[in-house]
Amino acid sequence: MNIVLLGPPGAGKGTQARRLQATMGIPHIATGDLFRSLAAEDNGLGREVRAYMNKGEYVPDDVTIRVGLDRLRAPDTENGCLLDGFPRTVAQATALTSALGRLGQRVDLALYITAPEELLVRRLSGRIVCHHCNAIYNNATRPPQQDMSCDACGHELERREDERAEVVRTRLRTHEERTSPVAEYYRERGTLVEIHGARTIEVVEQEVDGAVGLRGVR
């Protein structure tokens, strides 16, 4: 089953994708993680990606399509995948449809998780991460026990450069302009399910499970 997760940064796509990955046994492909890995490389592509991310801008379609489709060629996607952050534009969605069609596959479901802008800004600008064990904390909702120190491994926590409040607002505006039409693309094809991510985690999980056919699985 191929599932696309849509929605603004901070809406909870990654949280739901990681949970579904564990339940469904298909890989969670987060283009944000792919781009951060590229941005850490000291080469032309890495510097280009890093510059876009630090300004809160999207990586151009041609680069995103190449990176996304390359990842889909990996053997672990044979039974489907959870796409988080790709496609982000209609051009990317069209490229994905064509690529999957050549394999006799399609996007089976597009989950569109939404939330109010101010909630998203609070979530993202307060987020801090451990790059050693990938634990995620939030100063507002889930602070570490010791300031800027990971509870799990003790390593120093960091705030992502692309999650400063002013950068977050730019990312949200860019999302509204470019990604919302992707939701309409999948709505027209009858595969879109919209979920309001501002409610309790239990309610959101129940609706997500129902959409993917896992109702009652806990």
**How distant is the alpha carbon of residue 154 from its chain centre?**
26
Q: What is the pLDDT of residues 175-194, one digit of tens each?
A: 888 888 999 999 999 999 99
State the amino acid at position 54 in one-letter form: N
* Helix (H) or strand (E) run with residue 118 in it: helix 117-125
**How distant is the alpha carbon of residue 214 from its chain centre?**
21
Would you say 192 and 183 are in contact if contact means Cβ atoms under 8 Å apart? yes
Would you say 2 and 108 are in contact if contact means Cβ atoms under 8 Å apart? yes
pLDDT of amino acid 15: 85
What does the DSSP assignment read for 32-64?
HHHHHHHHTSSSHHHHHHHHHHHTTPPPPHHHH
**Token pair recorded at residue 128:** 């801090």
pLDDT of amino acid 54: 84
**Token pair recorded at residue 12:** 């909870």
pLDDT of amino acid 211: 95
Looking at residues 31-43, what average pLDDT do you find? 89
pLDDT of amino acid 131: 85
Beta strands (DSSP E) in the chain are 2-6, 28-30, 81-84, 109-114, 127-129, 136-138, 192-196
Q: Which residues are catalytic?
A: 13, 88, 127, 160, 171
Q: Which domains does the chain have, with CATH numbers?
A: 2-115+165-212 (3.40.50.300)
**Token pair recorded at residue 81:** 């995948």
**Res 215 pLDDT > 70:** no
**Res 74 pLDDT > 90:** yes
Looking at residues 51-77, what average pLDDT do you find? 89
**Res 132 pLDDT > 50:** yes
Range from 72-86, 163-177, 204-218 that averages highest in pLDDT: 72-86
The lowest-confidence range among 158-162, 185-189, 205-209 is 158-162
Q: Which has more confidence, 189 or 124?
A: 189
The structure's pTM equals 0.76
